[in-house]
Chains A and B, each alone.
Chain A
């Protein structure tokens, strides 16, 4: 009985630095009577080391976009290359592997498993990734320490504050060392000070070289990103770089205009 998955890493992203390329991505929700076109042809690329904030009013399609980016949902049309590889047409198991190794996802409502401790929640993706028990534990402890929860590893989600739960979720998202971290309103369910903590953590991760795409209403979050994409009615209406990506501006102190 082999419960573990094969220990195989997806191919490295191509050298042009485009970690994400989307071409004419559409998403139609068919509710039977009516069809709702949530995304009507999205084109954009994300480079390694970018911190992208996706903004827009409710119902604009930004969460749908993020779900498609994270392979949690399948597009109705268009091409999506993740690390240079087409995602469309991958079978369920390959898609599961992509979710496991390539992307880390942070949800607004945390989505921690309530019956598991913080440590076990962080171990979960590594379990699916076929990483051995000792290594799993070591990396989970390390990850929780990195988000400042080294003293909470045996707590269950119900014993943690919202900010702490979101930090556990971030540690979980990073556990498999993904190419990109996706976050859907990560501060949406948090009070201001917890939200600030989570925001600082995300910024710190960016400074350490992570690639981030964050859907947000939070203007503070949008201000810290190096690039803001605005979505309206299922289309990209604005795409502005306010500063450069981190790996190409490694010497910068991050305050550049």
Chain B
């Protein structure tokens, strides 16, 4: 162990006195690490953001609107209006076993008043399972509509987070009373803010949800505006949609192949498309990442090459003084390891720093927030480190293999 301390002191001194060289070596690794890490982090962030935004509409649900027939059926003309009420939904729930969850929805813009503030708000009458299907998650201290609310037609309301802020300001809306269509409703929950980039009747953050039973009693509306349903797994949604159409066709007497009588929007298709898109996007990003790594690696190895060339004379002098090549190489490798290690660490720190401050730039709504996966980041830094190390090692080994006189003349 005699020499180790001295080696280390010398290393520290070398690094300190050769600031430019040190800087360039470390910089190559820092740069490569940051570039690749951020590229992949933004890709991942975008993916998560988009997936979550899609999920804002619901958890891979099918949305269906009763509409008009487009085909004649059993003597009935086309263009006939199809209306559904709660009993049809009960029928589907009982007759189509593939349905995992189904909920009706009644919707209308109604006057809402709280204190002296009056707003026109999209009010939806829904069932408890609607909240789960559409990812309507309450903030802490609140809840969504429950079965008892339905049974007893309670006047309770679940409010979107933005309309809640608009009406209630800083105060906690839960437990407060507001008036919908002139009737008092108690707020039982507020929507936890979520990303949502698609909708069919306005964004959830500006809507209010009340029990369907209460809605019917309040407005006298009998027919549902739409209903949503889903199968056990997203890939079964398409088949389930055909089953639902056929079952309703039998009950309401329209052609079971008439896709216009009850129009559907299978949101799973959006996920399928998006997954395909993201796969392509990730391949692209991965390719860019690899290319960046290669470029970074070439940069690092170039620098290491220059460093060794520059130090060949020093290697020659040390050999002339009686250093064995193993000793020279150990020293060189230690130095390279410390440099690449420090470079990698700085690169990681910068990447994590940028990822951490990115949400403050106000671009998150479009790009999402970058997510740096530790294994990616460390792999990048590690790979560049190994490249730098090897790029330094081989020329150094060659230099240490020369006759001292030749090395000193370099």
Contact = CB atoms under 8 A, between A and B. Distances in A.
A105 B168 CA distance: 89
Contact of A100 (B3, B321, B325): B321
A111 B404 CA distance: 12
A96 B1 contact: no
B322 A115 contact: no
* Contact residues on B (Cβ < 8 Å of other chain), bracket: 20 to 34
Contacts of A114: 17
Contacts, number: 92
Contacts of B10: 116, 120
Nearest to B401: A92
Contact of A72 (B314, B318, B403): B403
B365 to A, nearest CB: 53
Nearest to B15: A115
A74 interface: yes
Interface string A148-170: 00000000000000000000000
Interface string B1-28: 1111111001001100110000000000
B150 to A, nearest CB: 74
Interface stretch (A1-9, A16-24, A210-218, A232-240): A1-9
A96 B330 contact: no
Nearest to B9: A120
A49 B45 CA distance: 78
Contacts of B5: 133
Max chain B CB contacts within 10 Å: which of A96, A115, A131, A136?
A: A96
A212 to B, nearest CB: 17
B405 A73 contact: yes
B322 A3 contact: no
A99 B404 contact: yes
A128 B327 CA distance: 8
Nearest to A111: B317
B14 A96 contact: no
B322 A4 contact: no
Interface string B285-325: 00000000000000000000000000000100111111111
A8 B322 CA distance: 14
Contacts of B14: 115
B264 interface: no
Interface in B131-182: none
6 contacts: A3-B3, A70-B320, A105-B320, A123-B6, A124-B318, A130-B2
